Amino acid sequence: MENLSKQTADTLSSYISKTSGLKTKDYLGYALGDAAGCLVFSLVTSLLQKFYTDIFSIQPMYIMVMFVLARIWDAVNDPIMGRICDSVKITKYGRYKPWFLYVALPLSFTAMLMFAKWPGIGDPDKYTLTCVYATVTYVLFGMAYTMLQIPYGSLAAVVTTDEKERNKLSIWRSVGAGVGAMPVLLITSFCYSTDENGVKTMMYKPIIIGVIIMSIASACLLVLCFFMNKERIIAKGKEAEIEEEKLKHKHRTAEALKNLFKNRAFIGISLTAMLLLAGQMFTQSFYTYLFDYYFNANWMNLIATGCNYAPMVVLMFFTPKLVRKFGKRELCAVGLTLSCGANLALFFMKGIDPSILMYLFMAMCFISGCGLTFISLQLWSMETDALDDLEVKTKQRDDATAYSIFNFFRKLGQVIAAIAVNGALMGMGYIVGNVAQGDENLNIMYILATLIPAVMYGLMALFLFVIYPLSKKKVEELQIEKEKNIKEAYENNRIIINES
């Protein structure tokens, strides 16, 4: 009996080995996808909000409404894109990675359009035209970005089935995101001029030059990403494709969505991802105002971002070992609790002289960055674990559909960030158009800049502790069940394993 169990385990393990075996080139190629996406998406998270208020002179209320309406459209657009990815005819290159070539130019072009200031745009006498232009270009960019993110996120499931390799893949993706997010700092740090009264003014020319360079670089990286990635489970067999055609109707889609919303692991990690992006976008956008007006120190933008990413550079080497010892959920939840505490500490430091507080602020940003590092590095692996859990329970897998819903949760995070940023600006009485702010407004700005992230990070820790069920032990059990599923799918001609 013992020999039989060992033989069965060896057989199952062989299917994992056939659909894994990543090398450095594979990790790098996968990371390039998020680097490409973040090159242009960082323009939205770090620059677009202030660009709208200071260059286009759009009121915060309209910006908030525009962002919310764009996300309502995503509620329709994202699932459609997910079903397209799961249903279109599979090419010889696989199901997902061809989309990197399809989207490279549209994504680059729409990113440049968002920041293009044509004659009349930004003119107070043509405010309606400016708002319409901003809305159309922002929505077009969002659709192009969806065309990248859903196939890219789904790719992880077919690149490798090994849980340890997926952990490393998630880390490399986060590193790619960090690398892609760094260049925008050059724009935010050097796009200001200061007049004789010390008032800073955002300049258009360095912004548009930087946007054009980053957009072109994004397209080039997507082409590299296409050539450097490999789908190891590249297609379904012919019999399964015929059967799949019979299932392509609204009941199949409804069933897939129903299964997703019944799965605690998927809901838990989706809610966490939603608030993670909300917190990141809020701090990236709102800190720009805080550092310019409260601290009068634009250089803090660059240092604050470094404080968030520097821990990642160090901890990425230790995270796999820590995950094996403590588990993903446990490690990430404790880290988020630390980030919550660091932001609460900043709130209670209010009243300290800004010339001293700025250095304490950077120190707390570093501590918060340490806590956020673990969820940033393991988010994508935990999302894939949730899909594995769903597959084990339902015997069905619709990666692109699932990722479209996951991506929609992240876009809801953008809505939360938009409401938080613009609500905070309206609450403090922010005056648009590069105008100095009053002391009372600045005090309110500081309170909101510290309390809002603290609440978000605290809720994320709660979601992981209470809702997300995949503890270290559960993930280990899930790996065994997943191996059985791969063996069954291969023997029943539902998948083709690419070992070449």
What structural domains and CATH numbers belong to the chain? Answer: 15-497 (1.20.1250.20)
Lowest mean pLDDT among 16-20, 40-44, 170-174: 16-20
> In the structure encoding, which two tokens stand for residue 237, read together?
């067999």
Greater pLDDT, 256 or 63:
63
C-alpha span between 243 and 80 (Å, rounded):
21
The single-letter DSSP state of residue 430 is: P
In the structure encoding, which two tokens stand for residue 419, read together? 């409401």
pLDDT at res. 103: 95
Tally helices (H) and strands (E) across the chain: 19, 4
**Span 288-300, pLDDT tens digits:** 888 888 888 878 8
Mean pLDDT over 120-135 rounds to 91
Where are the alpha helices (H) located in 290-398, listed in sequence order? 300-315, 319-326, 328-348, 354-394
d(C-alpha 235, C-alpha 256), whole Å: 19
Specify the higher pLDDT residue, 249 or 374.
374
Segment 106-119 shows an average pLDDT of 95
Question: Under a CB-based contact definition with an 8 Å cutoff, are residues 108 and 216 in contact?
Answer: yes
Q: CA-CA distance, 433 to 435, in Å (whole number)?
A: 6
pLDDT at 101: 94
The pLDDT score that the predictor gives to residue 78 is: 81
Q: What is the DSSP letter of 125?
A: G
Four-point Cα dihedral 344, 346, 347, 349, nearest 10: 130
Residue 102: predicted pLDDT? 94
> Tens digit of pLDDT for each residue in 149-160?
889 988 887 888
Q: Which residue has the tokens 């709660």?
A: 462
Q: How far apart are CA 323 and CA 331, in angstroms?
A: 7
Is residue 7 scored above 50 in pLDDT?
no
CA neighbor of 456 nearest in space, from 342, 379, 374, 352:
342
Please report, for residues 106, 265, 464, 491, the alpha-carbon distance to residue 379 in angstroms, rounded to integers and kept in the order given: 27, 12, 11, 32
Higher per-residue pLDDT: 490 or 474? 474
Lowest mean pLDDT among 36-50, 185-199, 233-247: 233-247
User: pLDDT value at position 28?
Assistant: 93
DSSP 3-state assignment of 91?
strand
Q: What is each CA distance from 139 to 72, 407, 436, in whole angstroms?
A: 11, 16, 31
Q: What is the pLDDT of residues 307-364, one digit of tens each?
A: 887 888 888 889 889 998 999 999 999 999 999 999 999 999 988 998 899 999 999 9
Most confident of 264-273, 276-285, 302-311: 264-273
pLDDT for 399 equals: 75
Q: Which whole number is the average pLDDT over 3-29?
A: 65
Contacts of 467 (CB under 8 A, 6+ apart): 264, 267, 268, 271
Whether 249 has a pLDDT exceeding 50, the answer reads no
233 forms beta bridges with 497
Q: What is the mean pLDDT of residues 95-110?
A: 93
C-alpha–C-alpha distance, residues 396 and 12, integer Å: 19
497, β-bridge pairs? 233
In tens, the pLDDT along 417-473 reads 888 888 888 877 776 655 556 677 788 889 999 999 999 999 999 999 999 999 999
Q: Lowest-pLDDT range, 51-60, 250-259, 361-370?
A: 250-259
Phi, psi of 315 (to 5 degrees): -70, -20
Whole-structure pTM value: 0.76
Average pLDDT score over residue span 410-422: 87
Give the highest mean pLDDT range of 111-120, 201-210, 398-407: 111-120
Of residues 369, 367, 366, 379, the one with CA closest to residue 332: 379
Q: How far apart are CA 199 and CA 42, in angstroms?
A: 26
- pLDDT at position 450: 94
DSSP 89: P
For the residues 241-251, what does the mean pLDDT come to? 48
Burial class from Cβ neighbours inside 10 Å (0-12, 13-18, 19+) for residue 291 reads: buried
pLDDT at 250 over 60: no
Determine the pLDDT at residue 314.
87
